[in-house]
């Protein structure tokens, strides 16, 4: 006999204002998880893992391109597994009503993977795995494990917000989490002074320790909300059917369908640029590690400003026009990066890219809300998230293939690869311009 499906009960009603809202233990512990996982995404994915590969593999213009290829291919391979398995994780929530019960082990596995990155990098051995030095191969495999479980944990983390606040409180809670996440970026960089030159792997284990430390409020203070019993039970593979059904339904809504295509290409460029920006800045324009860390901080501040500014821009001119302007800014930033002949041009590019990245998240969510019927909104947000994961395969694969095939050309390969991201943005811009749009009042 099939067991009944569980579904969360509604969050408690009752207005909370000011500090009473933000310092409620469930909300504070939830937001600190954003603080914690941002340390992983900034320290490991964006900064120190790419630097480690450049130090371990690079050394000249040709091998720097091989390092870029390894960075993008490992990220693309992780995304393949995310696309295959994440829809099934959503079904686990539907069937059990549990989120924290899955989030905790997934987070611990991500932290363990990060620790193994550090141990592998310190492993002194002459052995080889897959034709690579065993130490390097161990770091690559551990990174893929860490990033897979980091991204997968978000499948359980994001829906938790609906358990801790009312509909009116959710924008404030979400903003609080995003704000703490940006502070997490700054906190993560406290490991930098303890990392010796050309020893970026020394940041791996301290970053894992910070990740774990700031996850503890979530682990010990957040409780899954009691669930109500529902008789319907979904099959384990129903997540795939739901994605396909939503995709087919989106085709009947031409506007949202074209937007999903546009977002696919825009996110493709954004996600790829994030993963390669460290190596690109050092190899092509000659940034030191210290200067890149400062550039990253400037880009982060620009992202904060872009998200706030384009919240107002979107409200004034509508999400379609706002996203067109974002695509234009992103296109200009990538063109400047591809043609950069000095560090000043990359400072300009980094600031513009940060603005576009922060603004994209704000405006894209607004467009989905404006263009989808309320009763179907959850489905389309699910397709939106799935599209983002799918695009994270294509862009890195294109970039890495270009740097691999043109490695003999040195830094020209990276410039061509960066230019290819501009082509992706241009394709997305064409679809965005063509979509039918009637601004909601």
Residue 341, domain member (yes or no)? yes
- Answer for the pair 144, 74: CB distance below 8 angstroms, yes or no: yes
Q: Could you identify the residue written with the tokens 């480690």?
A: 52
Number of domains in the chain: 2
Nearest-CA neighbor of 165 among 11, 32, 20?
11
Q: Which residues contact 174 (CB under 8 A, 6 or more apart)?
A: 161
Do 143 and 242 lie in a common domain?
no
Angle at 343 between CA 339 and CA 344, to 5 degrees: 90
- Of 222, 246, 278, which residue sits at a domain end? 222
Do 182 and 263 lie in a common domain?
no
Residue 33: predicted pLDDT? 92
Do 304 and 365 lie in a common domain?
yes
Q: What six digits make up the tokens of 401?
A: 């293939």
Q: What six digits make up the tokens of 44?
A: 């490991």
User: Any bridge partners for residue 230, and if so which?
Assistant: 5
Nearest-CA neighbor of 67 among 279, 339, 343?
279
Residue 167: predicted pLDDT? 61
Convert 299-330 into a string of H (helix), E (strand) and C (coil).
HHHHHHHHHHHHHHHHHHHCHHHHHHHHHHHH
Mean per-residue pLDDT pooled into runs of 10, the chain (441 residues): 41 59 81 92 93 86 87 92 82 76 94 97 88 92 96 84 70 72 86 90 96 94 68 63 74 80 89 89 88 89 82 80 92 94 92 88 74 66 75 89 92 93 94 77 47
Nearest-CA neighbor of 138 among 148, 129, 147?
129
Do 190 and 281 lie in a common domain?
no
Residue 268, domain member (yes or no)? yes
Do 217 and 350 lie in a common domain?
no
Convert 333-392 into a string of H (helix), E (strand) and C (coil).
HHHHHHHCCCHHHHHHHHHHHHHHHHHHHHHHHHHHHHHCCHHHHHHHHHHHHHHHHHHH
Range of the domain at 289: 237-441
Radius of gyration, alpha carbons of the chain: 22
> At 8, phi and psi to the nearest 5?
-65, 150
Residue 7: predicted pLDDT? 42
- Answer for the pair 184, 38: CB distance below 8 angstroms, yes or no: yes
Residue 170: predicted pLDDT? 64
- Answer for the pair 114, 208: CB distance below 8 angstroms, yes or no: yes
Residue 11, domain member (yes or no)? no
Residue 266, domain member (yes or no)? yes
Integer Cα distance of 304 and 298 in angstroms = 10
- Of 179, 199, 222, which residue sits at a domain end? 222
- Of 174, 199, 222, which residue sits at a domain end? 222
Integer Cα distance of 439 and 441 in angstroms = 6
Residue 231: predicted pLDDT? 46
Residue 397: predicted pLDDT? 92
Q: What three-state secondary structure class fits 327?
A: helix
Integer Cα distance of 7 and 232 in angstroms = 10
Do 398 and 257 lie in a common domain?
yes
Q: What is the CATH number of the domain that holds 77?
A: 1.20.1250.20
Q: What three-state secondary structure class fits 213?
A: helix
Do 134 and 270 lie in a common domain?
no
Residue 265, domain member (yes or no)? yes
Burial 173-186 (b: 16+ CB within 10 A, else e): bbebbbebbbebbe
């Amino acid at each position: 006999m099939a067991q009944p499906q569980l579904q969360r009960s509604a969050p408690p009603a009752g207005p909370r204002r000011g500090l009473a809202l933000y310092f409620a233990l469930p909300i504070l512990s939830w937001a600190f998880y954003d603080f914690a996982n941002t340390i992983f995404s900034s320290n490991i994915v964006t900064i120190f893992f790419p630097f480690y590969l450049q130090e371990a593999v690079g050394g000249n213009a040709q091998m720097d391109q091989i390092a870029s290829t390894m960075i993008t291919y490992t990220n693309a391979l992780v995304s393949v597994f995310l696309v295959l398995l994440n829809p099934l994780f959503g079904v686990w929530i539907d069937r059990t009503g549990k989120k924290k019960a899955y989030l905790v082990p997934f987070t611990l596995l991500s932290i363990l993977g990060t620790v193994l990155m550090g141990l592998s990098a310190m492993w002194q051995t002459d052995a080889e795995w897959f034709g690579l030095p065993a130490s390097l191969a161990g770091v690559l495999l551990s990174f893929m494990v860490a990033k897979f479980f980091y991204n997968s944990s978000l499948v359980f983390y994001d829906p938790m917000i609906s358990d801790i606040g009312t509909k009116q409180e959710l924008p404030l809670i979400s903003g609080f989490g995003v704000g703490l996440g940006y502070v997490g970026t700054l906190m993560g960089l406290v490991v930098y002074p303890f990392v010796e030159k050309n020893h970026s792997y020394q940041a791996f284990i301290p970053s894992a320790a910070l990740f774990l430390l700031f996850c503890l409020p979530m682990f010990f203070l957040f409780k899954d909300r009691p669930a109500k019993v529902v008789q319907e039970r979904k099959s384990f593979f129903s997540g795939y059917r739901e994605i396909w059904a939503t995709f087919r339904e989106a085709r009947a809504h031409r506007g949202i369908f074209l937007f999903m295509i546009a977002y696919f290409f825009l996110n493709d460029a954004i996600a790829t640029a994030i993963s390669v920006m460290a190596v690109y800045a050092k190899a092509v324009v000659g940034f030191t590690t210290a200067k890149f860390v400062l550039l990253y901080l400037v880009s982060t501040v620009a992202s904060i400003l872009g998200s706030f500014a384009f919240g107002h821009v979107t409200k004034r001119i509508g999400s379609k026009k706002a996203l067109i302007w974002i695509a234009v800014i992103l296109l200009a930033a990538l063109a400047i990066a591809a043609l950069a002949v000095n560090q000043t041009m990359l400072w300009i590019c980094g600031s513009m890219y940060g603005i576009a990245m922060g603004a994209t998240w704000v405006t894209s969510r607004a467009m989905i809300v404006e263009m989808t019927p309320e009763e179907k909104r959850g489905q389309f947000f699910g397709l939106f998230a799935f599209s983002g994961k799918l695009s994270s395969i294509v862009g890195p694969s294109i970039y890495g293939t270009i740097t691999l095939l043109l490695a003999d050309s040195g830094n020209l390969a990276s410039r061509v690869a960066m230019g290819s991201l501009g082509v992706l943005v241009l394709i997305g811009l064409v679809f965005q311009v063509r979509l039918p749009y009637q601004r909601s009042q």
